[in-house]
Structure 1
Amino acid sequence: MSPSPLPEKMSPTEMRATVGLASIYGLRMLGMFIILPVFAFYAEDLPGGSNYTLVGIALGAYGLTQAILQIPFGWLSDRFGRKPVIYGGLILFAIGSFIAASASDIYGVIFGRIIQGAGAISAAIMALAADLTREEHRTKAMAAIGMTIGATFALSLVVAPALNRLIGVPGIFIMTGVLALLAMAVVSRIVPDPAISRFHSDTEASAGRFHNVLRNGELLRLDFGVFALHAVLMALWLVVPLSLRTAGLAADQHWQVYLPVLLLSMVLVVPAIIYGEKKAKLKQVFVASVAVLLVSQALLAYMFNSLWGTTAALLVFFAAFNLLEATLPSLISKIAPVGAKGTAIGVYSSVQFLGTFVGASVGGYLYGNHGSSALFAFSGALLMLWLMFAVTMKAPAAVRTRMYHVREMDTGKASGLSRQLAALPGVHEALVLASEGVAYLKVDMRGFDEQGVAQLLGGEA
C-alpha cells in the first residue's frame, strides 16, 4: 500500500475526538487546580486547618495517587477498554470531590483529594486519542489536549476567587464533581468509539522499556526538572494568597493580580520559544528560564507582603514557568528513543504529579514550622540543583518526530525497513513496529528527505 499524501486537515471524527477528549481532560484538571488560590483561606476555618503540614498535604494529596495510578490505569485501558476506564476514573474523581465538599475537617478534605487523584485517566485519554487519530494528525491532537492544561490552570486562577466568594470552597468541590459526571456524557455522546484499540508506543508506557528510560541520564535530568517545577509551584500556593491579603488585597480581588500576570507572561514567552526552536538554541533558552525561575524565588522572599513586589515577582515566575512547561515536553520528545517516547512521557508525567505532592507537603511543613523564608529556601535549593543539571545537559538535537502508517509485515521485514529508513538523509533514528503498523522517525527537518521516505514505504506495497 502506497502512502497517500498527507491530508491538510483532520477528519470530522478526529476533530470530535480531539475536542471531546480535550474538554474531558480540561474539566478534570480544573477540579485539581481551582482550589489552589483559595484553599489557604478556607483551611483557616477548618478543624485541623491551623496545621500547615496538613494544609499542604490536602493541596497536594491528589498528586500522590495520580503519580502512582496513572500508568497502571493506562495499562487497564489496554485490557478492559478505554472508555470503561475513563468512566471509572471520572466516577472516582466525582466521589472524591463530593467527599471533600462534605468534609468537616482537614482530614476529610485530604481523603477526598486522595480519591480525586485516584481517578487517574490521563494515560487512558491519551491512548484513546491515539486510537481515534491517524499517525499524521496524532501530534496535533496530543498538543490540543495538552494545551488544555495551561488554559485550565489560567482559568482556575482567574475564576477561583470569584467562585469562592459566591459558593465557597465546598461549592467549588461540588461543582467540579458535577462537571466530572457531565464529562461522562461527553465520553458517551461526543467522543467516537474506536474501531480498533491497540498499544501505541508514542503515547503509552511499556513495562519492557522502563529500563532504557530510567537509565537515560538526559531524560532523568528532565524528570527532576518537572518534579522541581511543580514542587515549587505548589509550595507557592501556601504563601502567595496570604501574602496578597496581608498586602491589602481582598481575597475575592486576587484575580486582579493573576489575570494580568498570566496574560503578560504568556506574551513574553512566545518570542523565547520561537527563538529556541528556530535557532536551535533550546538548551540556552531552557537554562536561562531555570535561572529566571530561581531569581523569582529570591524576589518573592525579598518582597513578601508587598503588593506590587509580589505581583512583579509573580510575573517573573510565570514567564519562566510557562516557558518551561512548553519546552520540557518538547525536550522529552527530542531526547527519548522513538520506540520509548510513550514510556518516557509516562514517567515524566508521574514524576510531575509526585512533585505536586512533595512540594505542597514539604512546603506546608516548612511554612507552618519555620516561616516563609524556609519555604522559599526549599524552593530555591530545588531550583539551584535543577540549574546545575540543566547547565550540564547535552544540547538536544534539532529534531522532530514523524509517524507513517505501514502495511502489515513480519518483524524481520520491519527491522530491515527500519535500517533503510535510518540511512535516509536527515533521519537520526527510525523504528518500524510491525505490531502497530507504524514507522517512527526522528528527523532533522532541514535536511529531511520526506520524498525518499514516501518512495521507500511505497516500495513495500
Structure 2
Amino acid sequence: MNALERRSTFALSSIFALRMLGLFMIIPVFSVAGQSYQYATPALIGLAVGVYGLSQALLQIPFSLWADRFSRKPLIVLGLLLFAIGGAVAAMSETIYGVIIGRAIAGAGAVSAVVMALLADVTREEQRSKAMAMMGMSIGLSFVVAFSLGPWLTSLVGISGLFWVTTLMGLLAILTLFLVPKTTRHHQNFKQGYLNQLKQVLKMGDLNRLHVSVFALHLLLTAMFVYVPSQLIEFAGIPLSKHGIVYLPLLLISLFFAFPSIILAEKYRKMRGIFLTAIFGIIIGLLILIFGYESKYILLTGLGLFFIAFNVMEALLPSWLSKSAPIQSKATAMGVNASGQFLGAFFGGTLGGQLLMLNNTAIGWSVLAAIAIIWLLISFGLAQPRYLSSIVLHLPEDKQTDDWTSQLLAIRGIEEVVVMPEQQVVYVKVDKQQIDDAARQHLTHLLGKEVAI
C-alpha cells in the first residue's frame, strides 16, 4: 500500500472503530444499568439496545443511494453528527423512552456502506482486501476494548456518562475524516432513478449471495456472543470480567492466519476458494463446539477457528462486493449489504437469547452449525469475481480534468477514474481482459507515454 492508501485506511478504519467502540461499550452493562431509568421494563431495555441496529438496517440503503450521486464525505459527516446527537439525547434522558429515541437517532447515521465505498475509491483494486482487512481488524479490536472498558467506565461516570462518551467518539470520528483525500469519481454514468438503481442491484444473483453471506456471518457472530459467555464461565472457569483477555488473544491469532489467506485470495485470484474454505472453517469450528464444549481447551479451539474464518470473511466480503457491484451503484450495493449485516446482528441476538432458554448446549451449537451449512450450500453458486487493475497517474496540469477523464473513459476497458486533486493523483481502474491493442495505443497517445497493462 502507498502512503496515501495507508493514511486513508487508517482514518476510515478509525471512523468504524470509534463508532463501534461507542456502540459496544453499552452492550455488556445496559441490561443491568438500564433498570435505573423511569418506566424501564426488560422489553424496553432490550428495545433500547436493539433499536440502533434496526434504524441502521432501515437507513443504510437511502444513504448509499445518495452516496452514488453525491460526494461521500459530507454524507459521512452527517451520519456521524446524527450518531453524536443520538448519544447526547440518550445521555440527557431520565426515562427509558428518551434512551430509545436517542439510540434510534444514533442509528440513523447509517453510513457504514458510505465509509466502505469511500475506502474503495481511495485504494487500488490490488490493495482492496488488505484495506478491508485492516478495517475488519479495527472493528474486532474495538469490540474487545469496548467489552473491557464498558463496565469500568460505567463504574466511574455512570450510564449517562457512557452515552456522553459515545458522543465524543462520534465527534472524534469526524476529525479523522480530514485525513482522507478529497475525491471526485468519474465513470460511465447510466442515468436512472433511485428505484431502478436499487432494482438493478437486487437482481444480481452473486450480489444477493453476498448479502446472504453477510447476514449469516453476523447472525452467527452475534448469536455466539450471546450464547458463549455463560459457557466460558461454566465450562472454562473464566469470570465475565476476564472475557476480554480471552477474546483479544483469539482475535490476534486469527489475524495471524487471516492475512496470508487474504493475500492468497487477491494475489493469486483464489477468492472464491478462500471464501468457501472460510465458511467451511466456521462449520468445523461450530462442530467442534457441539462435541467438545465441556472441555476448556476444546471450547477455546472451536472459538479460535471461528475467529480465524470470521476475520477472513470480514475482509473478503467488502472486497468481493466492490468487485462485483456495478461501478455506478457501488455504494448502493454496499448499502444493501450493510442492511443485511445489521439485520443479521438483530436476528442473531434474538436467536442467541432463544438458544440460552433451551438449556441444551449441544442443540444450540447444532442450530448455528445448521445455519452455516445452509449458507455454504447457497454460496456454492458464486462465480469468481471480476478482477480490475489500477494504474496510478499524475494529474496533468495543462488539461481540463473533466475533458481528460471523459477521454480516458472512452477507452475500451477503463471502468472508472478517481481523481484526488489536492494530491494531484489519479487512480484509473482497468479491466485487463477488455484492453486491446487499439485501446493501448489510444491510452499511450492520451498520456504521452506508454503504460504497461
TM-score range, shorter chain: 0.7 to 0.9
* Number of residue-to-residue matches in the alignment: 431
Q: How does 1:125-164 map to 2 (within 5 A)?
A: 125=115, 144=131, 147-164=134-151
Paired with 1:378 and 1:186, the residues of 2 have a C-alpha distance of 41
Aligned to 2:231: 243
Aligned to 1:214: 202
Question: Which residue among 158, 178, 183 is the counterpart of 2:168?
Answer: 178
Alpha-carbon shift at residue 373 of structure 1 (Å): 5.4
Residues 93, 99 of structure 2: 8 Å contact kept? yes
Q: Which range is displaced more, 205-214 or 233-242?
A: 205-214
Counterpart amino acid of residue 289 in structure 2: L
Alpha-carbon shift at residue 233 of structure 1 (Å): 0.8
Q: Which range is displaced more, 400-409 or 223-232?
A: 400-409
Residues 43, 106 of structure 1: 8 Å contact kept? yes
Residues 411, 434 of structure 1: 8 Å contact kept? no
TM-score by length of 2: 0.75
> Quick one: structure 1 residues 259 and 70, their matched pair in 2 at CA, closer, same or farther if it must change by over 3 Å?
same
Residues 99, 108 of structure 1: 8 Å contact kept? yes
The C-alpha deviation readout for 1:377-417, integer Å capped at 9, x for no partner, is 442232121110122322335x23437789545999788x3
Paired with 1:395 and 1:78, the residues of 2 have a C-alpha distance of 25
Question: Which residue among 335, 348, 351 is the counterpart of 2:340?
Answer: 351
Q: Matched residues, percent identical?
A: 34
Paired with 1:377 and 1:289, the residues of 2 have a C-alpha distance of 18
> Quick one: structure 1 residues 272 and 410, their matched pair in 2 at CA, closer, same or farther if it must change by over 3 Å?
closer
Residues 227, 354 of structure 1: 8 Å contact kept? yes
Say which SS state the counterpart of residue 390 (structure 2) adopts. Answer: strand
Aligned to 1:441: 430
TM-score by length of 1: 0.74
1:23 aligns with 2:10: no
The C-alpha deviation readout for 1:264-308, integer Å capped at 9, x for no partner, is 111122333333334433222221211121222233344446543
Aligned to 1:4: none
Residues 40, 238 of structure 1: 8 Å contact kept? no
Residues 282, 310 of structure 2: 8 Å contact kept? yes
Counterpart amino acid of residue 217 in structure 2: L
Residues 130, 263 of structure 2: 8 Å contact kept? no
Aligned to 2:315: 326
> Quick one: structure 1 residues 27 and 396, their matched pair in 2 at CA, closer, same or farther if it must change by over 3 Å?
same
Paired with 2:293 and 2:33, the residues of 1 have a C-alpha distance of 21
Alpha-carbon shift at residue 255 of structure 1 (Å): 2.0
1:284 aligns with 2:273: yes
Counterpart amino acid of residue 322 in structure 1: N
Residues 332, 345 of structure 1: 8 Å contact kept? yes
Alpha-carbon shift at residue 192 of structure 1 (Å): 7.6
Residues 130, 200 of structure 1: 8 Å contact kept? no
Residues 54, 343 of structure 2: 8 Å contact kept? yes
Q: How does 1:307-456 map to 2 (within 5 A)?
A: 307-368=296-357, 375-397=364-386, 399-402=387-390, 408-409=402-403, 417-418=410-411, 421-422=412-413, 430-431=414-415, 440-443=429-432, 454-455=443-444
Q: Which range is displaced more, 384-393 or 96-105?
A: 96-105
Paired with 2:198 and 2:145, the residues of 1 have a C-alpha distance of 39
Paired with 1:309 and 1:107, the residues of 2 have a C-alpha distance of 43
Paired with 1:145 and 1:289, the residues of 2 have a C-alpha distance of 16
Paired with 1:107 and 1:307, the residues of 2 have a C-alpha distance of 41
Residues 226, 351 of structure 1: 8 Å contact kept? yes
Counterpart amino acid of residue 142 in structure 2: L
Paired with 1:448 and 1:315, the residues of 2 have a C-alpha distance of 50
The C-alpha deviation readout for 1:18-76, integer Å capped at 9, x for no partner, is 6544433321122233445666676799999995x777655543222112212323455
Paired with 1:305 and 1:95, the residues of 2 have a C-alpha distance of 45
Residues 30, 153 of structure 1: 8 Å contact kept? no
Paired with 2:444 and 2:429, the residues of 1 have a C-alpha distance of 16
Alpha-carbon shift at residue 198 of structure 1 (Å): 6.6
Paired with 1:279 and 1:137, the residues of 2 have a C-alpha distance of 16
1:122 aligns with 2:88: no
Residues 161, 251 of structure 1: 8 Å contact kept? no
Paired with 1:252 and 1:323, the residues of 2 have a C-alpha distance of 28
Q: Which ranges of structure 2 fall in alignment gaps of 5 or more residues?
A: 421-425
